[in-house]
Amino acid sequence: MSTTTWRDLRSWSTPCWRCCANAARRSIESTLTASDKPPASQRTVNQTTPTEEIYMRAAVYQGPRTVTIENVPDPTIKEPADLIVKTKVASMCGSDLYLFNGEVADLVAPGHTTLGHEICGEVIETGSAVTHFKVGDRVSFPYSVSCGRCENCIAGQTAHCLVSGAAVYGFGTAFGDLGGSQAEYVRVPLADGHLEHVPDTIADEAAPFLSCNLPSAAIAVHTAAIEPTDTVAVVGCGPTGQLALELVRRRTGATVFALDPVSFRRERAEKLGANALDASPDTADASVQTILDATNGLGVHKVVEFAGRGAGFDLAVRIARPGATISGGGVYLEREHPASLFDMFFKNLQLRLNGFANVKTAQWQAKRLIESKVIDPTAVVTHRVKLDEFPSAATQFADRAPGFLKMLITP
């Protein structure tokens, strides 16, 4: 095959650049098989400039609760260790709501930041230093970029990679300013260090759960060290909380409580075998008392927290018995939230926070859970949308619209 790539066509800049580019494109096409050729809709060419600039569509943050689908510059290979992935299926994580709702304005650049960190994609181009992947491979990446070789990565703290600088896909300028997965294409830096092959046994719709949700749930449940007779509470029954609840039910034969303010989430939790309780501010006290009454006034042995909010963490502390473990998998970005050190001290609580999860270390386990049919992560999917429909769907997700739990997005 010719070493010329589709991206080489952008170098034509003579007055007859378009004719030359088309001739070159036809020449390349003659050397490609049908599976090698990108679809006609793969690239949008700017027709107004004398140099060919290629665009793709992506979800762009414009301000609080405002996302639009825009043409943005096509991602390109910048370093030899990069590769480019074509998005097959993406999603939206609950942690994205911090950005979407405008709660972390210092992390994002309106009109520039593209969103999303969950994906199933296909490799379409590789840098010269990439050895573990080839064009056509089906892949998923963990939400954070890691090299696999630095001191933190070797210690298992891949989310704190010293080489990437703790970069996160689609999470704003403060986390590496990387393009997100809610787009047609994504650049993957340090690909050999963290990108993951998706086996044929895992469907496209299940693969995005390898990026964040399922590994995060597995890490939090494992870290909770649940014993077979432990009473457990899952605080926060969004998509990841629901996955964690399924794993918790396999760890203990004792009562499992599920707390969430959203009624349809509680209904789903009950179907998974939990005693679902309302965590709304006006009923939380009664729910806490219900747990205390059911545990001889002591509280639960283990709490798995996936609300990702200060109120959820406070609730976890209240329902934990002396000596209990709180395994926090939620993303806490509320920098000024007050917490009672006395309550945690006096109860001798063990806090194990994993919200900035080292997902890369648990992707292998997540794959095994899906392949072994221990868990079907697509069971939490309630909505499937096209990229153009995403802005409206994001608002529904943020508003906790009735029946809206998890969306999958296709370009």
Q: What is the pLDDT of residues 84-128, one digit of tens each?
A: 999 999 999 999 999 999 998 888 999 999 999 999 999 999 999
Burial of 165 (0-12, 13-18, 19+ CB in 10 A): exposed
pLDDT at residue 31 above 50?
Answer: no
Answer yes or no: is 247 within a domain.
yes
> 308 and 190, same structural domain?
no
pLDDT at residue 7 above 50?
Answer: no
Specify whether the CB–CB gap between 291 and 300 falls below 8 A.
Answer: yes
CA distance linking residue 361 with residue 222, whole number of Å: 13
Answer yes or no: is 324 within a domain.
yes
DSSP assignment, residue 303? E
Answer yes or no: is 13 within a domain.
no
Number of Cβ atoms within 10 Å of the Cβ of 174: 15
> Among 358, 381, 380, 407, which Cα is nearest to 220's?
358
pLDDT at site 349:
96
Q: What is the pTM of this model?
A: 0.86
> 232 and 207, same structural domain?
no
Answer yes or no: is 317 within a domain.
yes
Query: Can you give the CATH number for the domain in which 175 is found?
Result: 3.90.180.10
> Among 189, 171, 166, which Cα is nearest to 78's?
189
Cβ neighbors of 196 (< 8 A, separation 6 or more) are 139, 140, 141, 142, 210, 360, 363, 367
CA distance linking residue 237 with residue 387, whole number of Å: 26
> 383 and 312, same structural domain?
no
pLDDT at residue 315 above 60?
Answer: yes
Tokens of 407: 């969306």
> Among 197, 192, 140, which Cα is nearest to 169's?
140
Residue 35: pLDDT band (50, 70, 90) is very low
What is the number of structural domains in the chain?
2
Answer yes or no: is 336 within a domain.
yes
Query: Can you give the CATH number for the domain in which 288 is found?
Result: 3.40.50.720
End-of-domain residue from the set 311, 338, 353: 353
Residue 271: pLDDT band (50, 70, 90) is very high
Mean pLDDT comparison of 299-303, 326-330, 332-336, highest-scoring range: 299-303
pLDDT at site 45:
37
Per residue in 162-209, pLDDT (tens digit) is 999 999 999 999 999 999 999 999 999 999 999 999 999 999 999 999
> Among 89, 105, 296, 125, which Cα is nearest to 198's?
89
Per residue in 198-249, pLDDT (tens digit) is 999 999 999 999 999 999 999 999 999 999 999 999 999 999 999 999 999 9
Please give the span between the terminal C-alpha atoms of the chain, in angstroms, as a whole number.
28
> 65 and 181, same structural domain?
yes
Cα 345 to chain centroid, rounded: 33
CA distance linking residue 208 with residue 358, whole number of Å: 16
Per residue in 354-381, pLDDT (tens digit) is 889 999 999 999 999 999 999 999 999 9
Tokens of 65: 């609760």
Answer yes or no: is 47 within a domain.
no
pLDDT at site 331:
87
pLDDT at site 29:
35
End-of-domain residue from the set 332, 353, 374: 353
Task: Quote the radius of gyration of the chain (alpha carbons, Å).
Answer: 23
pLDDT at residue 47 above 90?
Answer: no
Query: What is the domain extent for residue 295?
Result: 216-353
CB burial string 308-333: b at 16+ within 10 A, e below:
bbbbbbbbbbbbbbeebbbbbbbbbb
Answer yes or no: is 262 within a domain.
yes
> 275 and 317, same structural domain?
yes
pLDDT at residue 273 above 50?
Answer: yes
Residue 52: pLDDT band (50, 70, 90) is low
pLDDT at residue 48 above 80?
Answer: no
pLDDT at site 332:
86
Specify whether the CB–CB gap between 410 and 389 falls below 8 A.
Answer: no
> Among 244, 240, 277, which Cα is nearest to 262's?
277
CA distance linking residue 272 with residue 245, whole number of Å: 7
pLDDT at residue 50 above 80?
Answer: no
End-of-domain residue from the set 337, 353, 369: 353
CB burial string 78-109: b at 16+ within 10 A, e below:
eeebbbbbbbbbbbbbbbbbbbbeeeeeebbe
Higher pLDDT, 2 or 317: 317
> 363 and 346, same structural domain?
no
CA distance linking residue 284 with residue 255, whole number of Å: 19
| CA-based max dimension of the chain | 83
Cβ neighbors of 290 (< 8 A, separation 6 or more) are 277
> 141 and 86, same structural domain?
yes
Number of Cβ atoms within 10 Å of the Cβ of 123: 21
Per residue in 64-91, pLDDT (tens digit) is 999 999 999 999 999 999 999 999 999 9
> 364 and 233, same structural domain?
no
| Average confidence score pLDDT of the chain | 89
> 371 and 325, same structural domain?
no
Residue 336: pLDDT band (50, 70, 90) is confident
Token look-up 């009950």 returns: 270
> 199 and 73, same structural domain?
yes
Instruction: Report the half-sphere exposure of 251 (CA within 13 A, side-chain side).
Output: 23
pLDDT at site 175:
95
Answer yes or no: is 145 within a domain.
yes
> 305 and 181, same structural domain?
no
pLDDT at residue 1 above 70?
Answer: no
> 157 and 68, same structural domain?
yes
